[in-house]
Structure 1
Amino acid sequence: MKKVDILGELATRSILLEVSSHPKPGLVTPFSQGAHRDMDFTLFMKSTAVLSQGFKEVSHFGYNYKGDLENMLPPLRKLGLEVEHRMFEVTNGINTQKGLIFLFYLILGSSGYLLSKRKLSTKNISSSVAKITKGITEKELGTIKKSKKNLSKGENTFVKYGITGIRGEVEKGLPTVMDIGLPEFKKAYQITQDINKSSLHALIAIMSVAEDTNIISRNGIDAYYDVQKKASEILQVGGILTPIGLSKILDLEMDFLKRNISPGGAADLLSATLFYYFLEKEI
């Protein structure tokens, strides 16, 4: 198999492992719908199957791309909208992975491009994502007027609180993945040799810092800060690596179910973390 094809395979694997990990507070797992009433594990499997073909396509697009990285965003978004349309067809209009498509099309477009230049590494992927999205926060959020109608969740959050969400994350080069998610996953895996436990540990670490606009749009700014605070407290007692940490994660799961909280943005960044890990190990 060509390396460019392996990129899409690793992306699909990473998403499947993220969705399959359990227990994830407020998120869909094989045993829980989390805080969602309109989606479950089976629906995510159907949606991910659609994305898998798109991941192969965007990896090849990046590999064959001859322009400057600063001009890659428009064609990437066009490709992303095509697979997004197919996703909505399969899910009957339910948004399972729209944000994930945006994130992984940037990552895979960058990965394919760097592979063709023999410069593929997680550090270079992050740098390339930052180049592709340079100015996106100011361009797409900075000019928004409060009077504008039909704001997206991310736009509305920026107008109210100045939080840039995934746009800010990608423009900065995915620091939550590089500096938090990946190191914490590696630390946990070195101790446990267990992908599920390590994924949960990394998720809690990501939740402690991520600008998760999904939480704000569903539950408000107070819940957003509360999630970060509780995740930080779990990390301070060892996260998944200690009995008390695991107990607190289970308590957090019950708390999120009662309050209808879903850290979907953190889940997307966990998928990206897993992709980075597998890429370092296998390519």
Structure 2
Amino acid sequence: MTAALERHSNQSRPSEARFPNSYEAEAISAIAVECLLRELATWPKPGLVSHVDSGSHSDMNFRTFQRSATAIKPYLHALAEAGAKGCGMGRLRIIGLEAEAAMFAATGGVNTHRGSIFGLGLLCAAAGAKAAGLADRTMPLGDVVVRLWGRDILDGPVLLHSHGDKARRHYGAGGARVEAAQGFLSVYEIGLPALQWGALIAPGDTEAARAQACFALIASLEDTNLLHRGGMPGLRYAQSAARVFLDDGGVGTRNWRERANIVHQSFIARRLSPGGSADLLAMTLFIQACEAELLPCRT
């Protein structure tokens, strides 16, 4: 079990049973929800909901996301337990659908966390598998997802009414399923390095580090939420605006919040919302929390 899981567990671990122990699954789900709330508490995030404003959204706000995160926590717990028991993708999908139903019930039918239920849910299952000894403890969570469920992720049913899947089919973008099947490369190659770099150039400001990671993900990701809202021109605008912010010093400049807010307001004016990047930011925070001892520091 990682140091992060140990910090979230207040009980001694029984020697006769490694897993499933409900407190370990509870630790995993608690970390996951904490990461969802830390993503929510980051501002400015271009076009996205935060504690400051609702970004490009008129149907959801900070409280909507809080209710959603609370509603899906039991299912993240269940996914961690399912991973620990060696369950296949079929069982994980059933739990995921139950989590979506709970989300919609809590939000009045608004899709706040479907992407996180899928991606963060798989990572919770992978953390459960590692805690149970079904995968090497030194193996990154993304690699665990690939080894245990990679092929089945791509073979799953298409969500015909999902905006992300519609955009993926129309534009040929990879989307969340390809991201997961490849082990969340955007997290490991973009999100985590940017989060570490942000901590170095804005020491002591954890919100700045999260914002740096968010902008880096927007600049690089073929975000199907952006494609749905703005088509290819919207995606290209968002990537370019995020890249300019990063190239001009990112969160390492004194006035970074003012500069980031200008980008944020430009997304709002265009009704652009990089929801896929927000999901990956939460996953980045989760993997950092669970794998801190495995991640090299960027110099």
**Paired AA for residue 130 in structure 2:** L
Counterpart of 2:43 in structure 1 is 22
Cα distance in 2 between the residues matched to 1:241 and 1:104:
29
Residues 15, 151 of structure 1: alpha-carbon distance in 2 compared, 3 angstrom cutoff = closer
Cα distance in 1 between the residues matched to 2:156 and 2:177:
10
Q: Would you say 1:161 and 2:182 are equivalent positions?
A: no
Counterpart of 1:210 in structure 2 is 221
Counterpart of 1:180 in structure 2 is 190
Shift of 1:115: 1.5
Q: Would you say 1:120 and 2:131 are equivalent positions?
A: no
Percent of matched pairs sharing the same residue: 29
**Paired AA for residue 150 in structure 2:** T
TM-score w.r.t. structure 2 length? 0.84
Shift of 1:10: 0.8
Cα distance in 2 between the residues matched to 1:88 and 1:154:
17
Describe the superposition over 1:147-185 as per-residue Cα deviations: whole angstroms up to 9, x where unpaired: xxx553233223322112111211111111011111111
Cα distance in 2 between the residues matched to 1:175 and 1:261:
24
Residues 245, 194 of structure 1: alpha-carbon distance in 2 compared, 3 angstrom cutoff = closer
Describe the superposition over 1:226-269 as per-residue Cα deviations: whole angstroms up to 9, x where unpaired: 11122112111221111365443121111011111111110000
3-state SS, counterpart of residue 273 of structure 2:
coil
Cα distance in 1 between the residues matched to 2:238 and 2:279:
16
**Paired AA for residue 164 in structure 2:** G
Q: Would you say 1:11 and 2:32 are equivalent positions?
A: yes
Are the equivalent residues in 2 in contact too, given 1:4–1:115 (CA < 8 A)?
no
Map 1:1-283 to 2 at 5 A: 1=9, 2-65=23-86, 72-117=88-133, 119-121=136-138, 123-131=139-147, 132-134=149-151, 136-137=153-154, 150-190=160-200, 191-243=202-254, 245-281=256-292
Flag structure 1 segments of 5+ consecutive residues without an equivalent: 145-149
Q: Aligned-pair RMSD on alpha carbons? A: 2.1
Cα distance in 2 between the residues matched to 1:45 and 1:158:
28
Are the equivalent residues in 2 in contact too, given 1:153–1:214 (CA < 8 A)?
yes
Cα distance in 1 between the residues matched to 2:293 and 2:128:
15
Residues 265, 111 of structure 1: alpha-carbon distance in 2 compared, 3 angstrom cutoff = same
Cα distance in 1 between the residues matched to 2:145 and 2:85:
17
Residues 268, 198 of structure 1: alpha-carbon distance in 2 compared, 3 angstrom cutoff = same
Are the equivalent residues in 1 in contact too, given 2:82–2:91 (CA < 8 A)?
no
Shift of 1:102: 0.7
Flag structure 2 segments of 5+ consecutive residues without an equivalent: 1-8, 10-22, 295-299
> How many aligned positions are there?
270
Describe the superposition over 1:172-222 as per-residue Cα deviations: whole angstroms up to 9, x where unpaired: 111110111111111212342222111001100111111210111111111
Are the equivalent residues in 1 in contact too, given 2:218–2:274 (CA < 8 A)?
yes
